[in-house]
Structure formats: structure tokens, C-alpha cells
Amino acid sequence: MAAVERIRRIGVMGGTFDPIHHGHLVAASEVQAYFDLDEVIFVPTGQPWQKSDRKVSPAEDRYLMTVIATASNPRFSVSRVDIDRPGPTYTIDTLRDLSRLYPDAELFFITGADALAQILTWRDVDETFKLAQFVGCTRPGTEALELPLDQLPMDRITLLEVPALAISSTECRARVAKGNPTWYLVPDGIVQYIAKRELYTNR
């Protein structure tokens, strides 16, 4: 009897990753294991429209840092779909592009609790929910955030507790700007990349 092929299950970890840190990596790893995902694709944003009030590092730097940080995990990969698409980054476009690239796969979009709390402000959110399952990971400092549970399609969302790592890209950038270390908050290669490219020194 021929073996039944399982539908490919792909996690999609979207983020600005300026810089990528261990909070992102642990969340993605936990979701991969919990949902038995075949892979997790990290998707750095092109133009994160809800962060247009701040300076964001060049997309190629954020892309390369994401490649460096994920290289050691055979289940992690990085996609350029958002940084190669002109204009503001909307998850509806991310998921449409990935659905075209992986037509037979089931997609799981991974977010932190803070991003999930804001999700009703996203472009075409009703349509977005149809294209993937959503996973909302716990994140330290966001416990008081109220999810608009009665307005969210909870049959499309799983809330997952992940090990608490109180790390943010904002804190990493601020540390670099003040000359404080980021060792062990971000992967070693990211500490070195930030220094080599002199990122975050004058913010």
C-alpha cells in the first residue's frame, strides 16, 4: 500500500528583526515543536508601515541578520518575499505569496501577544485569517494587554505559552547605542554583524 503523504505544515515568522534576537528564535522553535511543523520560514518585513514613525535599518541588513541567526537550525529558513515586494508590508500579501510558492501547504503565522493584540488594525484582516492558522505566543511585559477575543476568529488562533524571554529589538538597539553588551540576548553572529556594520550607534 502506498504511504499517505502528510500535508506540509509551514510556520511563518514575520518580523522587522531589527535586530533578530533570542525571543524570536525561541518562539519560532516552540511553535515548530508544538505543531510539528516541517519548517519555519522567517520573513523580514520590507516596509513595516506601523513602524513608519521610527528609523528602521536597511532591509538587506535585517535580512542578512535573519539568515545568520537561523542558519544553525535545519528547520529554519528565510524568505525575501516581503523585502522584494515594493510598498508597505501587509501580511495578506506575505501569505498570498507563500501560498503561491507552497500551494499544498498549511500555513501557521506566528506572532507575539503584542502583535496579536493589534491584529484588527492590519490590512484586510478577515481575508488574512483565511490564509493561515495564527499562533499568538506569550511575551513578557504584555500580560496586561487585552486581546479583543470577542472580535477575533478564535477557531483560527492558538495562544501558546513559550519560555519567557524579556528581550526586545528596542532594548537591543538601546544597549548598542549606550555601548552596553548584547551578548546572549542575540546570537553571537548578530553581535558581530551589528559591530561590523556599525548599526544602532547613533539612535
Ligand X SMILES: Nc1ncnc2c1ncn2[C@@H]1O[C@H](COP(=O)(O)OP(=O)(O)OP(=O)(O)O)[C@@H](O)[C@H]1O
Ligand Y SMILES: O=C(O)c1ccc[n+]([C@@H]2O[C@H](COP(=O)([O-])O)[C@@H](O)[C@H]2O)c1
CB 180 within 8 A of CB 189: no
* Least spacing, CB of residue 6 vs ligand X, in Å: 27
Based on the shown chain and the rule CB under 6 A, indicate whether residue 180 belongs to the binding site for ligand X: no
Q: Which of 12, 83, 115, 131 binds ligand X (CB under 6 A)?
A: 115
Q: Name beta bridge partners: 135.
A: 110, 158
- By CB atoms closer than 10 A (0-12, 13-18, 19+), residue 85 is middle
Q: How many angstroms separate the CA atoms of 136 and 114, rounded? A: 9
Within positions 99 to 128, which residues make up the interface with ligand Y, using CB under 6 A? Answer: 115, 122-123
Q: Which of 29, 32, 70, 89 binds ligand Y (CB under 6 A)?
A: 89
Q: Which of 32, 79, 111, 182 binds ligand X (CB under 6 A)?
A: 111
Based on the shown chain and the rule CB under 6 A, indicate whether residue 66 belongs to the binding site for ligand Y: no
CB 42 within 8 A of CB 17: yes
Strands 39-44, 133-137: pairing kind: unpaired
Residue 123 binds what, of ligand Y, ligand X, none (CB under 5 to 8 Å, by partner type)?
A: ligand Y
Within positions 127 to 166, which residues make up the interface with ligand X, using CB under 6 A? Answer: 137, 139, 165
Phi, psi of 111 (to 5 degrees): -135, 160
Q: Name beta bridge partners: 160.
A: 137
Based on the shown chain and the rule CB under 6 A, indicate whether residue 106 belongs to the binding site for ligand X: no
Based on the shown chain and the rule CB under 6 A, indicate whether residue 54 belongs to the binding site for ligand Y: no
Q: How many angstroms separate the CA atoms of 18 and 62, rounded? A: 6
Closer Cβ to ligand X, 79 or 169, answer by number: 169
Based on the shown chain and the rule CB under 6 A, indicate whether residue 130 belongs to the binding site for ligand Y: no
Q: Among 29-37, 84-92, 111-119, 180-188, which window interacts with ligand X (CB under 6 A)?
A: 111-119
